[in-house]
Amino acid sequence: MTEQAGNSLQPQAPGRCDLHSHTFASDGMQPSAENVRIAAERNLSAVAITDHDTVSGLNEALEAGKQYGITVVPGVEISTRAGGKDIHVLGYYIDYENGVLLERLASLRDTRTARNEAIIAKLRSFGIDITVESVVKGIGREMKQGESVGRPHIADELVRLGAASDMRDAFDKYLAEGAPAFVSPPRITPEEACRWIGEAKGRAVLAHPGLYGDDELVREILSSGGFAGIEAYHSDHGPADVERYLKLAEEFGLLVTGGSDFHGARSGVIFHGDLGSVTVDAGVLDKLKP
């Protein structure tokens, strides 16, 4: 069965899994249990919950997995920095109750908070009447411990204020790398993220390499070691991207993973891809398990 890429949802057969999804815990638009319900509804056999720098949605997702009869892969997406770019590292089958890991992720969320404040300061300098408080209020619910504000939340507020037409416009105008309000604070390296994941008994995978726009940097990062896999299939990867990263996976002896990078819909628009629109064979899970 051929892996799928792109944003159009196609019917799935049992034995497929979406290994990249986000929830309320970071910058997704729904509870983790809802991701699991949708995955089961779409006949996936497994779904991974991979929130940014937090594991606070995993317990709810794992309970939902029992309810809906679907495998939930406990994961995380760690923010790192290399070669002047933000690089994301996915961790699968981590011990998400590991105290050291939880402390480390909390430190990354502190960095995220400082970054958000710097972004908002830049936006205000452009005459946009936005505050941290208005962004949090715009989320429309009380945030739980371990959850964090992300750039999509800031984008939502820019849309509400009329400073952008939709989330993609907000990123293009202000928040994307190279845009006027983009801020990237010092972060850990991808190698360090791999070490953290390994010490929490998980496996590290390089997320969406096509988004970095620099395959030489991708090669350097993979050469550093510590990675078990590469996310060749992703909603923002075209066929040529997939072909290149399949070759890199073969060259470096890496597992091939994939996922939609589902965040939910904002104003009716799905950012990245819909849940289940990009999948890989569930057989990869046995290889991903430590």
Buried b (16+ CB within 10 A) or exposed e, 107-146: ebbeebeebbeebbebbeeeebebebeebbebbeeeeeeb
Mean pLDDT, range 257-275, rounded to an integer: 87
How many CB atoms are located within 10 Å of the residue 218 CB?
22
Residue 10 confidence class, pLDDT cut points 50, 70, 90: very low
pTM: 0.87
List, as one string, the DSSP characters of 153-217.
HHHHHHHHTTS-SSHHHHIIIIISTTSTT--------HHHHHHHHHHTT-EEEE--GGGGS-HHH
Q: Token pair of 209, please?
A: 């390499």
User: What pLDDT, on a 0 to 100 scale, did the predictor assign at position 101?
Assistant: 98
**pLDDT tens-digit map of 197-256:** 999 999 999 999 999 999 999 999 999 889 999 999 999 999 999 999 999 999 999 999
pLDDT value at 12 more than 70: no
pLDDT band at 11 (very low <50, low <70, confident <90, very high): very low
**For residue 227, which of 59, 80, 55 has the smallest C-alpha distance?**
80
Report pLDDT for 279: 97
As a whole number of angstroms, the distance between CA 16 and CA 244 comes to 22
What do you get for the CA distance between the two ends of the chain, in Å? 25
Asked if residue 2 has pLDDT above 50, the reply is no
Mean pLDDT along residues 258-263: 97
pLDDT tens column, 43-99: 999 999 999 999 999 999 999 999 999 999 999 999 999 999 999 999 999 999 999
Give me the percent of the chain exceeding a pLDDT of 90.
79
Note the pLDDT of residue 44. Answer: 97
Cross-strand pairs, 48: 73
Helix axis angle, 239-252 relative to 215-223, nearest 10°?
Answer: 20
pLDDT of residue 270: 79
